Amino acid sequence: MSYFIDSGYTSLNHAGEELCGDRVEYASNGDYLTAVLCDGMGSGVKANILATLSSKILCTMLSAGVPISDCIETLIASLPVCKVRGVAYATFSVCHINSEGKGEILEFDNPAAILVRNGEASDLPREKSVILGKTVYSTKLDLNAGDAVIMTSDGVEHAGIGMLMNFGWERPQIKDYLKRSVKRDMSARAISAALCGACNELYMNEPGDDTTVMCVKVREAAPTSVFVGPPVNKENDAEYVKQFMSLPGKKVVCGGTSSLVVARETGKEVKTSFDFPDRDIPPIGYIDGIDLTTEGVVTVRRVLELSDSYLDAHNCNSATFVKRDGASLLAKLLFEDSTDVKFFVGQAVNSAHTGLPIETTMKLKLIDRLAENLKRMGKRVDVQYD
């Protein structure tokens, strides 16, 4: 069975440092996703350089099918040597996985990955091998829908040392936290943000080490179609709405005119909510058979802002949407719940916008930018213009 491989990460910088000494890189090659987390020695600029070089080299080579021994040899030859310690050092965790949930984890000196499955958090079996003097552990993967693999830098296990915990956050406690906190409907980004946020609390918002959580989760496809404006030719309204309604998955309609067109062509009625959870965002509406009905440009602009925040890997709070306004509901649906998003972008001129600083081109630009951000989140995105 073919799945959607969801991935996301969250990082905390060592207190007082502008650059993170951890680095995450992704690469796709055919049916495979390669996700790499590297932790450079120390912190700050030097650690960032080591981690960046290591992650780029590993991600590029492993995604191309190069043997791990060749990758490590290239790393040793490429990394700058620390003048103080006399070594070039960067640890790594790699997940190489295809759409069937099959693949491999490779680990060198990072904490062992944790598998979250059916509400339980457990260790994965590992095989030890020595490559060019380096001890590397490997794990064969055969994951099912809902399974999540969490890989971390050692900043997670160091959380709370000398503060709230004498010996840091020990592995059994981390697994217990994941068991209690990870829900089946959480995205990879939400899982990583939750664990990193807990680390930040243990550090009392002053991380004593660079801390990164990378998550790879296997998900069943969850498509969403978004109707944004009717087509230029009104005669095409019926066919356009028919295409929109015929697709599987969730349905979203954005805009007053769009709502009226969809309601008319489906023989339904538009009902408007009078609740204002956020006074800057117009209220949502309701159409039978439509999962979410919102206002247009103002709401989409807020969703775009939320997508920028969601993509900030240093923001532990951006993956949680608890507000009930139209923008927050749409953001949760697109960022957290969906794996595939198709936009139906009609370019008909809206007579209601006459005299207002709202143009069709503005709407198109907002959708284009939102689509790009969704792609950066790893979503499969299609935009149809009419």
Q: At what angle do helices 44-63 and 68-78 cross, to 10 degrees?
A: 150
Contact 96, 68 (CB under 8 A): no
Contact 318, 307 (CB under 8 A): no
Rounded to the nearest angstrom, the gap between the alpha carbon of residue 354 and the centroid of all alpha carbons in its chain is 38
With vertex at residue 63, the alpha carbon angle to CA 175 and CA 5, rounded to the nearest 5 degrees, is: 50
Domains in the chain, number: 2
135 and 116 fall within a common domain: yes
47 and 14 fall within a common domain: yes
Burial class for 158, CB neighbours closer than 10 Å (0-12, 13-18, 19+): buried
212 and 243 fall within a common domain: no
How much is the pLDDT for 157?
Answer: 93
Query: Domain boundary at 195, 219, 243, which?
Result: 219
Q: In angstroms, rounded to a whole number, what is the distance separating the alpha carbons of residues 62 and 126? A: 19
Using alpha carbons, select from 285, 286, 284, 289 the residue that is nearest to residue 242: 289
162 and 212 fall within a common domain: yes
How much is the pLDDT for 76?
Answer: 80
Q: In angstroms, rounded to a whole number, what is the distance separating the alpha carbons of residues 228 and 346? A: 6
Q: What is the mean pLDDT of each run of 10 residues along the chain (386 residues)?
A: 94 95 94 95 89 94 93 83 67 96 95 97 96 91 97 93 70 96 94 96 93 98 96 92 97 95 96 90 96 95 96 89 95 97 85 52 90 97 94
How much is the pLDDT for 81?
Answer: 67
**Is this structure's pTM higher than 0.95?**
no
How much is the pLDDT for 84?
Answer: 64
How much is the pLDDT for 39?
Answer: 95
How much is the pLDDT for 336?
Answer: 96
Query: Domain boundary at 219, 237, 255, which?
Result: 219
Rg (CA), the chain: 23
- Name the CA dihedral angle for 368, 373, 378, 379, rounded to a multiple of 10 degrees: -40
How much is the pLDDT for 30?
Answer: 87
HSE, side-chain direction, 13 A CA sphere, residue 211: 31
Q: In angstroms, rounded to a whole number, what is the distance separating the alpha carbons of residues 52 and 23? A: 6
Query: Domain boundary at 189, 219, 249, which?
Result: 219
Burial class for 138, CB neighbours closer than 10 Å (0-12, 13-18, 19+): middle
201 and 258 fall within a common domain: no
How much is the pLDDT for 134?
Answer: 86
256 and 341 fall within a common domain: yes
- Domain with 162, as residue range(s), is 4-219
Sorted by sequence, the CB contacts under 8 Å of residue 18 that are 6+ apart come out as: none
46 and 186 fall within a common domain: yes
- Amino acid identity of 366? L
CATH of the domain at 152: 3.60.40.10
188 and 306 fall within a common domain: no
Using alpha carbons, select from 349, 385, 98, 43 the residue that is nearest to residue 243: 385
Q: In angstroms, rounded to a whole number, what is the distance separating the alpha carbons of residues 270 and 293? A: 9
Q: Specify the pairing of strand 114-117 against strand 102-108.
A: unpaired
243 and 124 fall within a common domain: no
- Amino acid identity of 360? T
240 and 181 fall within a common domain: no
314 and 193 fall within a common domain: no
209 and 269 fall within a common domain: no
Segment holding 202, helix H or strand E: helix 188-202
The overall longest dimension of the chain from CA atoms, in Å, is 74
